[in-house]
Amino acid sequence: MKRNNSLTRMIATDILNMNFFNLLLFTLIIITLIEIFKVNYQVKLLTIKKYQEIKKGVLLQSEEDNLFFKKIITEHSKK
Protein backbone atom coordinates (compact mmCIF):
# COMPACT_ATOMS: atom_id res chain seq x y z
CA MET A 1 0.00 0.00 0.00
CA LYS A 2 1.35 3.45 -0.92
CA ARG A 3 1.99 5.99 1.77
CA ASN A 4 0.16 9.31 1.33
CA ASN A 5 2.38 12.31 0.66
CA SER A 6 2.25 15.14 3.13
CA LEU A 7 0.95 18.52 2.06
CA THR A 8 4.42 20.05 2.26
CA ARG A 9 5.87 17.42 -0.05
CA MET A 10 3.01 17.93 -2.53
CA ILE A 11 3.54 21.71 -2.56
CA ALA A 12 7.31 21.31 -3.01
CA THR A 13 6.75 18.87 -5.87
CA ASP A 14 4.32 21.26 -7.56
CA ILE A 15 6.77 24.17 -7.25
CA LEU A 16 9.64 22.11 -8.66
CA ASN A 17 7.47 20.97 -11.58
CA MET A 18 6.64 24.57 -12.55
CA ASN A 19 8.46 26.13 -15.43
CA PHE A 20 10.92 28.97 -14.82
CA PHE A 21 8.45 31.79 -15.53
CA ASN A 22 5.90 30.53 -13.03
CA LEU A 23 8.57 30.03 -10.39
CA LEU A 24 9.88 33.55 -10.97
CA LEU A 25 6.38 35.00 -10.80
CA PHE A 26 5.63 33.11 -7.60
CA THR A 27 8.87 34.37 -6.03
CA LEU A 28 8.18 37.99 -7.02
CA ILE A 29 4.68 37.82 -5.54
CA ILE A 30 6.03 36.50 -2.24
CA ILE A 31 8.76 39.18 -2.10
CA THR A 32 6.22 41.91 -2.90
CA LEU A 33 3.89 40.76 -0.12
CA ILE A 34 6.75 40.70 2.38
CA GLU A 35 7.79 44.25 1.42
CA ILE A 36 4.21 45.55 1.67
CA PHE A 37 3.79 44.14 5.18
CA LYS A 38 7.20 45.47 6.21
CA VAL A 39 6.37 49.01 5.04
CA ASN A 40 2.94 48.94 6.70
CA TYR A 41 4.55 47.83 9.96
CA GLN A 42 7.15 50.63 9.79
CA VAL A 43 4.45 53.24 9.14
CA LYS A 44 2.46 51.91 12.08
CA LEU A 45 5.51 52.15 14.36
CA LEU A 46 6.22 55.70 13.19
CA THR A 47 2.62 56.74 13.82
CA ILE A 48 2.72 55.25 17.33
CA LYS A 49 6.00 57.05 18.04
CA LYS A 50 4.60 60.40 16.88
CA TYR A 51 1.41 59.78 18.88
CA GLN A 52 3.47 59.17 22.03
CA GLU A 53 5.51 62.34 21.41
CA ILE A 54 2.33 64.39 21.08
CA LYS A 55 0.87 62.86 24.23
CA LYS A 56 4.06 63.75 26.13
CA GLY A 57 3.93 67.29 24.76
CA VAL A 58 7.17 66.98 22.82
CA LEU A 59 7.30 69.36 19.88
CA LEU A 60 7.57 67.74 16.50
CA GLN A 61 9.93 68.88 13.78
CA SER A 62 7.38 71.11 12.10
CA GLU A 63 4.05 72.67 12.96
CA GLU A 64 2.42 70.93 9.99
CA ASP A 65 3.38 67.53 11.43
CA ASN A 66 2.03 68.57 14.80
CA LEU A 67 -1.33 69.61 13.33
CA PHE A 68 -1.54 66.51 11.16
CA PHE A 69 -0.98 64.09 14.01
CA LYS A 70 -3.28 66.01 16.35
CA LYS A 71 -5.97 65.66 13.67
CA ILE A 72 -5.32 61.90 13.52
CA ILE A 73 -5.52 61.65 17.32
CA THR A 74 -8.81 63.53 17.49
CA GLU A 75 -10.31 61.40 14.71
CA HIS A 76 -9.13 58.25 16.46
CA SER A 77 -10.52 59.34 19.84
CA LYS A 78 -13.96 60.01 18.30
CA LYS A 79 -14.28 56.38 17.19
CB within 8 A of 26, min separation 6: which ones?
15, 18
**Domain ranges, residue 65:** 7-78
Residue 44 lies inside a defined structural domain of this protein = yes
Backbone angles phi, psi at 61, to 5 degrees: -65, -35
Q: What percent of the chain has pLDDT over 70?
A: 78
pLDDT at 29: 93
Average pLDDT over residues 9-16: 77
Q: For the chain, how many structural domains are there in total? A: 1
Residue 51 lies inside a defined structural domain of this protein = yes
The per-residue DSSP string of 23-53 comes to HHHHHHHHHHHHHHHHHHHHHHHHHHHHHHH
pLDDT at 64: 75
Sign of the C-alpha dihedral computed for residues 26, 29, 33 and 34 taken in this order: positive
Residue 34 lies inside a defined structural domain of this protein = yes
- What average pLDDT does the chain have? 77
How many CB atoms within 10 Å of residue 53? Answer: 15
pLDDT at 21: 77
* 0.75 surpassed by pTM: no
